[in-house]
Amino acid sequence: MRKVVAATAAAVLLSGCGTAVPSRPGGQPPTARGTPAPTASHPAGQMETQAVERSYEQVIKQVLPSIVQINTKTGLGSGIVFDTKGHIITNAHVIGQATRVTVTLANSNAPRQAKVVKSFKAGDLAVIKVLDPKGLSPATFGDSSKLQVGQLVLAMGNPLGLSGSVTNGIISALGRTVTEPEEPPSPGATISGAIQTSAAINPGNSGGGLVDLSGRVIGIPTLAATDPQLGGGPAPGIGFAIPSNTATDLASQIIKSGKVTNSHRAALGVSGSTLIGADNQPSGVAVAEVQPGGAADKAGIRPGDVITAVNDTPTTTMAALSEELTKYKPGTKVKVKVVRSDGSTDIVTATLGELQGD
């Protein structure tokens, strides 16, 4: 699992859920057609429970054939069938450095060979393609912009290699920004607009489906929280998913162009690492490289500089800088505070560029 830090809760760590070994408006469950009126032997509460159970059963039967297991030489995860041509959406950290993987369908024990089309590491998303697409069952994707906190959802995937597993919960929050630490095979991605869910997400769920009670995939489970106070053990009921609108947009670009051509995300055009100060606390982002012609280059930021704030918001870590940049669109002008290699402090104006695909 990948550990990350949530922007909204510094005490909570997060972990990517790969592993090495239809909702009605307001989130109310649909009522099955032909449900008899409540009687003394079938009280209303019992009938409502039965209706929810039937909804779960119907959704699982509908969606589970679209959820696959992905195995690499170093681990396993999940994926969602995107089209009949063999394209499957998953997380970049599930794929890691692999160029070839094996895919097992929900209705078959025979693994199929697949190639990696492209990974967009900055958004922890990847597309693979099964070489033999016969019998693939594409999922139906919903509009994640219409989600409501409190909606019932199901998380489907292959936690710990237990294929076709399903957990349930609600949408706990919307619009979260979460960042993974950059440690293999995690790409250190920052996910903006993430869906927070109480549905249990475990190692192996990464790349699977977060599904509403209409049988529509509305998110890609990617991160699960861990609690430092429990020694890094699971923090129940806190998981995060990439919104379906983001996933389908990026996947469509990869399929069409072989890479992400429009990330819709701002970039400063630097690479670096968190600088630890004399007090053993993070003190800024030490710039290692500057993209030629990028926003930082044009603003006069150079290797050796330390970025400490953007628009007066402290950026004491690389994660904090990445999360701050998600607030802006490409083309936005921002004030960047830097400490030069000679110890002097400067504030420069940078016009943000666009985050590019790998």
Active-site entry in 124, 165, 198, 322: 124
Range 62-79 burial, b when 16+ CB lie within 10 A, else e: bbbbbbbbbbbeebbbbb
d(CA 7, CA 180) in angstroms, rounded, equals: 11
Active-site entry in 93, 165, 186, 192: 93
Pick from 285, 274, 283, 263: which is nearest to 329 by CA?
263
d(CA 120, CA 122) in angstroms, rounded, equals: 6
Structural tokens at position 124: 């922890």
Those residues whose C-beta lies under 8 Å from the C-beta of residue 228, and which sit 6 or more positions away, are: 11, 12, 13
Structural tokens at position 233: 């053990």
Q: Classify 328 as helix, strand or coil.
A: coil
227 is a catalytic site residue: no
Active-site entry in 119, 172, 206, 322: 206
d(CA 208, CA 66) in angstroms, rounded, equals: 9
d(CA 151, CA 135) in angstroms, rounded, equals: 31
d(CA 238, CA 225) in angstroms, rounded, equals: 5
d(CA 301, CA 68) in angstroms, rounded, equals: 45
d(CA 316, CA 333) in angstroms, rounded, equals: 20
Whole-angstrom CA distances from 336 to 110, 181, 218, 264, 312 are 54, 23, 36, 21, 8
93 is a catalytic site residue: yes
Q: Classify 333 as helix, strand or coil.
A: strand
Pick from 244, 255, 200, 233: which is nearest to 87 by CA?
255
Residues catalogued as catalytic: 93, 124, 206
